[in-house]
Amino acid sequence: MPVNDLRRDDKMKRTVGLLSKNKNVLDIIKNGNKIYAVTNEKLKKKSTDNLQFIPISEFFNPDSSQAEMIEGGYSLISNKNLSEILGLNSQIIFTYNLQNLSSLEKSKFSHELLGRGKKSNGLVGELGGKILGKGCITVPANNSDKISEIMKKWSVKFSTEKVMATQKPLLRNGGSFNG
């Protein structure tokens, strides 16, 4: 049910309206067909098929299964994607190996993917990605198909890992944690 469909569902609309007035409800999140009420610890309510109550301590617990909600959830209180509110975006890390390519093929592949010299960013730069190291890049999840196509076109062996990353770097000027 898209967010707009929620407005047409009178029962759910009334429920969301009542929840939004409750001072113990911190946010109301829509993800797929479910509505989640993120609450402080004081509110103890039973969940239903369409509505689940989640204490804030569980919501940010790394052992819980809230990652999908953070990525795909939409706040009905602030009318924004939850990942945007938290300053996160979905990224795909590509790890690849060029062993099966000839020297000429490696060079051509690298130029297409990473660019030539400092002036050209290649496809990774054009898509808003970054080079993490030798054989490792990251791109926004919505652009990962284009990178996968290049990898397959060149018969490059690769693996992917989906991660949530901060939208802004945590360190300035390429600094390090070691000082």
pLDDT at 147 (0 to 100): 96
Per-residue pLDDT at 104: 96
Tokens of 74: 């939409």
Q: Containing domain of residue 23, as a range?
A: 3-85
Last residue of a domain, one of 32, 59, 85: 85
CATH number at residue 157: 3.30.70
Which residues contact residue 76 at a Cβ distance below 8 angstroms, ignoring those fewer than 6 apart?
Answer: 3, 6, 16, 20, 27, 28, 29, 30, 35
pLDDT of 155 reads 94
List, for residues 129-173, the tens digit of each pLDDT value: 989 999 999 999 889 999 999 999 999 999 999 888 886 655 555
Instruction: Give me the pLDDT at residue 178, please.
Output: 46
Digit-coded pLDDT (tens) for 55-88: 888 777 766 666 777 777 888 888 888 888 888 8
Asked whether the whole model's pTM tops 0.85, one would answer no
Q: Give the end of a domain, one of 67, 85, 103.
A: 85
**Domain contains 45:** yes
From 50, 85, 120, the end of a domain falls on 85
Q: How many domains does the chain have?
A: 2
3-state SS assignment for residue 43: coil
* Residue 112 lies inside a defined structural domain of this protein: yes
